[in-house]
A and B are shown apart, each in its own frame.
Chain A
Amino acid sequence: MAGYILRRLLQAIPVFFGTTFLIYFMVFAMPGDPILALFGDKTPSPALVAQLRAQYHLDQPFIVQYFIYIGGIFQGNFGMSYSGQPVSEILLRTFPVTLRLAVLALFFETVFGILVGLISGLRKGKLFDGSSLVVSLILISLPIFVIAFVAQYVFGVQLGWARTTVGPGAPIQDLILPALVLASISFAQIVRLTRSSVIETSSLDFVRTAYGKGLSRNRIVPVHILRNSLIPVVTYLATDFGVLLVGATVTEGIFNVPGVGNTLYQAIIRSEGPTVVSFVTVMVLLYLVVNLIVDLLYGLLDPRIRYVK
């Protein structure tokens, strides 16, 4: 087990170098001069542009820029944003916010998704199953910004139940609405996934055996059916957690959450190499860790899966 975890962690090293290199290259390859864009529709003097380019090492060849950046990371220096803040500070400020949002969204989609999926699966073809199918199809087909705008308008502006945008410090109560919006799409996926998995498991021999042994339904459903139906769902949740961390850009923009997606979007627009690369790298590492945890969870759900080496 420990060896397995160590091996997985060691895999993160080449992934780290690969992603930083690729992302840095992509930012570098973005057309246009970010320094010129800093001046809007005004044209700065060429000498001033040259000086600012030198300040951000933009005058160096790509490979030199990359090694300056990597060298900085090993000294704990993630570079500077154009507004003069250390990127490490921006990371420390935004990641906790997005993490809170993602965990909250994951919580909502897991609890509600599995619950609704389980009931649908057990009552296949009944009214509840039919209506949950309709609702999940609607949610899947709606783009997230539509859901977000409608939710913001109805609950924030009209009813006043929630704040329209997230306040300073991003307190949990402000994050509930964005988290529900964020959870809505994956909720539908989890319902569908859980439902079909439950239906499949319910018809397996061991479930029939359990019923035949005279076990009560209250014991069979959670222990035998649900537990064995969860493996595909857990896989999905793991990938989804990564998506939530990375893909919350739209929701964060609409609810003005000072999180990773928002900041990363602004940095991409400004071609701020160090900010973009640092953010994406941390995301990739988080993604790796989450996937490792999920792989370990499999072992708990299904004892046949063992990590011996």
Chain B
Amino acid sequence: MRKNRIGVGVVALAAASALVLTGCASGGGSTPTSSANLSAVITTNGSEPQNPLIPTNTNETGGGKIVDSIFAGLVYYDATGKPINDMADSITTTDSQTYTIKIKPNQTFSDGEAVDAKSFVDAWQYGALFSNAQVNQSFFAPIEGFSDTVDSPLTGLTVVDPTTFTVKLNAPQSDFPLQLGYTAFDPLPANAFADMTAFGQNPIGNGPYKLASSSAWQHNVQIDLVPNATYTGGRKAQNGGLTFKFYASSDAAYSDLQANNVDVIDEIPDSAISTFTSDLGDRAINQPSAVFQSFTIGVAAPHFQGQEGQLRRQALSEAIDRPTITKVIFDGTRTPATDFTSPVLDGYSNSLSGNSVLTYNADDAKKLWAEANAISPWSGTFQIAYNADGPHQAWVDAVSNSIKNVLGIDAAGSPTPTFAQFRTLVTDTANPIQTGFRTGWQADYPALSDFLVPLYQTGASSNDGHYTNPAVDALFTKAASETSTDAAIKDYQDAQVILLKDLPAIPLWYSNVTGGFAQGVSNVQFGWNSVPLYYAITKS
């Protein structure tokens, strides 16, 4: 899910890992007290949704947090990212390609309409249909019949009986059930399809909350949600409602938190990064999250191909002093990277073979750079492109200086004024970008595959560096068709060992989620995806 339009680098995000869970007593997960007030409305920070509130058309967190609260999919993720059945009774497969999904009986939308197999199948068909131009269209790409150029129904979806449907994929995908907690896969009631525009302004869902009234969404101001009595799943609201107050800046939200005007915020402004832990004490949250930051050097960049390119990429990576930069520039709200994924995921490893290339080693970096120069002498400036409307200049300059000091070459940032222009530059296939460029990735579902396949598979949608390696592709395909999770994890780790040699992107660090909550608020736990588990929050 996209955090906001300036890119994931802007924002502080949250996630809980196994590690974090043990520490969550201090991070807010205190036990419910008898003074908790079930009718207390929790106020939290949000931003005006950029799209109507339709699950298949919401891809940024402003709208995502709301959609996730008012809809319930087949599964939801607990704080560790483990999928737990929500609407689904069971999801079974024998070959990782055809899945049979049974839905719990007697589930309803907040207006009483039944949630059945058809609610899901119709919603997915709508989201996937090319001419509906939904921003989450690509999530349906694995399902048989999908097309991103013409209108084509998902022939892989079959309703068997009112509570059962089957999904046939184009190719085996062992972690498909893991994806189903993403909002794009939520069901829709029948009346939504009659007028989707009106529905998006005043949606009827099946989640733990519903809109307080037909005018609950006060644009640019706030949206008021109340508990949905018809929801019976595991995310039952423990509070009397949820108000997302829309902030234009995280500074304003932080001031409100200090004045106790807002209960929970999931973003600390840059201006308070160095002080928020002392300001808030044990009400401060700073945990690793599912956000990976790197910079990419495209295969078209001169001097970065073949043997010479590999040496130069490794030299650059070893020339960056990640621990110092994360400490000085980010006050410890970033964690130096040891792989290409995220520490909150099942399958994350800090001991992949060859990950020493991510450790600062000035001597070895100089040696590797000299070897590359023996193949073809370096000339010019090494540049990292970034968008100047996001807070990237400080770290890009720090990384450039680190490279400059170690390798003795010219290195500098190359800013573009806006994010739109930056993305246009990066995705221009006719005229590929010749410099390094900032890249960041926030996962939509808690799986290693989501950090790897879209970015490094040959021809993948977000493979902006146009990296290609048949060995990596083969491992991705093998992992997808594995029937055991452990085997799939092993394949993805093997693929990363190759990536650590080729370095299509140079891993930098994982963003932490930073946040805080007000006095009197308890049970604040941040999910794997950096979003608080709102339903569990209580207030005395």
Residues on A facing B (Cβ under 8 Å): 30-34, 36-45, 47-48, 51-52, 55, 82-85, 89-90, 93-94, 149, 152-153, 156-157, 160, 163-165, 168-169, 252-256, 258, 262-263, 265-266, 269-271
* B282-301, CB < 8 A from A: none
Contacts of B338 in A (CB 8 A): none
Contacting pair A40 B133 (CB below 8 A): no
New A-B contacts (12) at CB < 8 Å, excluding given A84-B51, A168-B218: A33-B420, A39-B59, A44-B461, A45-B138, A48-B130, A51-B131, A84-B200, A89-B219, A164-B256, A254-B252, A258-B220, A258-B221
Complex formed: what's the CA distance from A254 to B148 in Å? Answer: 42
A-B contact pairs, 16 of them (CB 8 A): A32-B418, A32-B421, A32-B423, A33-B420, A36-B424, A37-B419, A40-B2, A41-B2, A43-B461, A45-B149, A51-B131, A90-B219, A157-B255, A254-B252, A256-B249, A256-B252
Give Cα A51 to B3, complex, Å: 23
Are the CB atoms of A163 and B261 closer together than 8 Å?
yes
Q: Which of B387-446 contact A (CB under 8 A)?
A: 389, 416-425, 427, 439-442
Are A93 and B424 interface neighbours, CB within 8 A? Answer: no
A-B Cβ contacts below 8 A, count: 168
Interface hub of A94, A157, A253 (most chain B Cβ within 10 A)? A157
Q: Give every chain A residue within 8 A of B52 (Cβ-Cβ).
A: 83-84
Are B135 and A39 in touch, CB under 8 angstroms? yes
Using known A-B contacts A94-B220, A164-B259, A253-B249, determine if residue A41 contacts B8 with beta carbons closer than 8 Å. yes
On whether the beta carbons of A168 and B221 are closer than 8 Å, the reply is yes
A254–B253 Cα distance when bound, in Å, is: 9
User: B221 to nearest A CB, angstroms?
Assistant: 5
* Least CB separation from B243: chain A residue: A168
**A47/B130 in contact, CB under 8 A:** yes
CB under 8 Å from chain A, chain B span 426-471 = 427, 439-442, 454, 461-462, 464
Given contacts A40-B59, A254-B249, contact A31 B424 (CB under 8 A): yes
B398 to chain A minimum Cβ distance, whole angstroms, is 21
A122 → chain B closest CB, angstroms: 41
B251 to chain A: which residues have CB within 8 Å?
A: 149, 254
Residues from chain A with a CB closer than 8 A to the CB of B317 are none
Min CB–CB distance B71 → chain A (angstroms) = 18
Q: In the complex, how many angstroms separate the beta carbon of A12 from the nearest chain B beta carbon?
A: 28
Q: Which of A36, A82, A94, A160 has the most CB of B within 10 A?
A: A36
- Smallest CB-CB A-B distances: 10 pairs: A32-B420, A32-B421, A40-B2, A37-B420, A256-B252, A36-B423, A31-B421, A164-B255, A84-B52, A45-B148
Inter-chain contact B247/A42, CB cutoff 8 Å: no
| Inter-chain contact B135/A44, CB cutoff 8 Å | yes
A255 vs B148: C-alpha distance when bound (angstroms): 43
Nearest Cβ distance between residue B267 and chain A, in whole angstroms?
Answer: 14
Q: Which B49-86 residues have a C-beta within 8 angstroms of A? A: 49-52, 59-60
Given known contacts A42-B462, A153-B255, is B5 in contact with A269 (CB within 8 Å)?
A: yes
Q: Which residues of A have CB within 8 Å of B186?
A: none
What A residues does B138 contact at CB under 8 A? Answer: 44-45, 48
Q: How far is the CB of B131 from chain A (nearest CB, A)?
A: 7
Chain A residues in 8 Å Cβ range of B454: 42
B252 engages A43 (CB within 8 Å): no
Q: Which residue on B lies nearest to A169, using beta carbons?
A: B221
Residues facing A in B1-29 (CB within 8 A) are 2-8
Nearest-neighbour CB distance to chain B for A36, whole angstroms, equals 4
Residues of B within 8 A of A30 (CB): 418, 420-421
Cβ contact within 8 Å between A84 and B219: no
Cβ B135 vs Cβ A93 within 8 A: no
B60 near A40: Cβ-Cβ < 8 Å: yes
Q: How far is the CB of A79 from chain B (nearest CB, A)?
A: 14
Query: What's the minimum C-beta distance from A178 to chain B, rounded to whole angstroms?
Result: 11
- A42 and B256 in contact (CB under 8 A), knowing A32-B423, A168-B222? no
- Looking at the assembled complex, report how far the CB atom of A164 sits from the nearest CB atom of chain B, in whole angstroms: 4
Query: Chain A contacts of B148 at CB under 8 A?
Result: 45, 47-48
Q: Is B175's beta carbon under 8 Å from chain A?
A: no
Residue of A nearest to B3 (CB): A40
Asked if B329 is at the interface of the complex by the 8 Å CB criterion, the answer is: no
The residue on A at minimum CB distance from B441 is A41
Of chain B, the residue at the smallest CB distance from A155 is B259
Q: Are A163 and B50 also in contact (CB < 8 A) when A39-B135, A253-B252 are? A: no
Residue of A nearest to B444 (CB): A42
B201 interface contact, C-beta 8 A: yes
Q: Which A residue sits closest to B219, measured CB to CB? A: A85
B318 touches A (CB below 8 Å)? no
Please measure, in the bound complex, the distance between the C-alpha atom of A270 and the C-alpha atom of B220, giving whole angstroms.
15
The answer on a CB contact under 8 Å between A82 and B259 is no
Partner of B49, one of A43, A44, A83, A252: A83
Q: B57 to chain A: closest CB distance in Å?
A: 9
Question: Residue B137 at the A interface, CB < 8 A?
Answer: yes
